[in-house]
């Protein structure tokens, strides 16, 4: 599943002309990968979940970007 997500994300980045590795593409070859090999797995104890949620929610703001809101994300009820 992770591989499929990476492939789809790479395709979208290329279609939108915003692939971060596009400048290093060699003619006749694929664009260098923008993602690390494998996937990152994290398992949280229930007490760690609120802090992780806060970290993710605040991260764009620390970078001067707007808060992200997604229709498919619902509030965590622990």
Is the pLDDT at 2 greater than 90? The verdict is: no
* In 20-74, alpha helices (H): 49-62
Q: What is the pLDDT of residue 30?
A: 85
CB 66 within 8 A of CB 59: no
Q: What is the pLDDT of residue 36?
A: 82
Is the pLDDT at 66 greater than 90? The verdict is: yes
pTM over 0.95: no
pLDDT tens, position by position, 6-63: 989 999 999 999 999 888 889 999 888 888 888 878 889 999 999 999 999 999 999 9
Enumerate the domain spans of the chain: 1-36, 42-78
CA distances, 20 to each of 1, 38, 45, 56, 75 (Å): 22, 19, 34, 22, 32
């Amino acid at each position: 599943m992770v591989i499929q997500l990476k492939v789809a994300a790479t395709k979208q980045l290329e279609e939108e002309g915003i692939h971060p590795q596009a400048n290093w593409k060699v003619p006749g070859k694929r664009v260098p990968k923008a993602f690390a090999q494998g996937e990152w797995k994290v398992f949280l104890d229930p007490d760690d979940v609120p802090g992780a949620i806060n970290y993710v929610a605040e991260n764009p703001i620390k970078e001067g970007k707007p808060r992200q809101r997604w229709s498919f994300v619902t509030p965590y009820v622990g």
